[in-house]
Amino acid sequence: MRRRARANGFSLLEVIAAILLLAIAFTALMQVAGGSIGLTNNAADYSRAALWARSLLDTADVGAPLRPGHTEGRFDSQYRWRLTVTPWRPADADTAPTPQQAMPPQATPQQMVKLDLDVLWGTGRSERAAHFSTLRLIGPDNSHPPMGEP
C-alpha cells in the first residue's frame, strides 16, 4: 500500500491569519507612536510658553513702572499674553484685591505687587493656556530696590 505524500508548508488560511495579526499589531504600534508625537509637541508648546513667560516676567518693569491693572500683547504670531498687576500685602493673602484697586496713597519704601501672567496659544477649541504668578518687590518710584538693600 502506498501512502500519498503530504505537502509541507502553511495553508492559505494560516497565511491570511498571520498577516491579519501583523496588521493589527502594526496599527496599535502606529497609534502609540502618534500619541507619543502629540504629547511631545504639547510638552514643547508648554516649554515655549514657559520661556516666553519667564522673559516677560523678568523684564516686566524695565520699560515702564509697574501699575495695577491689565495689559495684553503678543510674543509672536502663535503666542500671546495677558498680565494682571495687583497690590499685595500679607493681610490680603487670603482675599486677592481686584486689579482696579490703586496702590496705597502713602506707599511704603518698598511694596509687594503680584504679577499674574497668562500665556495663550492656539485658537477655538484647541486653545491652550499656561498661568504664571509671582511677587515683585518694588521701591517707592515703582522700580526694583537698589542692590544690597534688604
Average pLDDT, the chain: 82
- Between 75 and 149, where is the model more confident? 75
Q: What's residue 107's pLDDT? A: 47
Q: What's residue 14's pLDDT? A: 92
Could you tell me where the DSSP H helices lie in 59-104?
none
Q: What's residue 128's pLDDT? A: 93
Find out whether 110 and 137 touch, Cβ atoms under 8 Å: yes
Q: What value does the mean pLDDT take over residues 4-16?
A: 81
- Between 121 and 66, where is the model more confident? 121
Cα 60 to the chain's mean position, in Å?
Answer: 19
Q: At residue 11, what is the residue type?
A: S
- Between 3 and 51, where is the model more confident? 51
Confidence check: pLDDT of 85 > 70:
yes
Find out whether 84 and 43 touch, Cβ atoms under 8 Å: no
Q: Distance between CA atoms of 17 and 7, rounded to whole angstroms?
A: 20
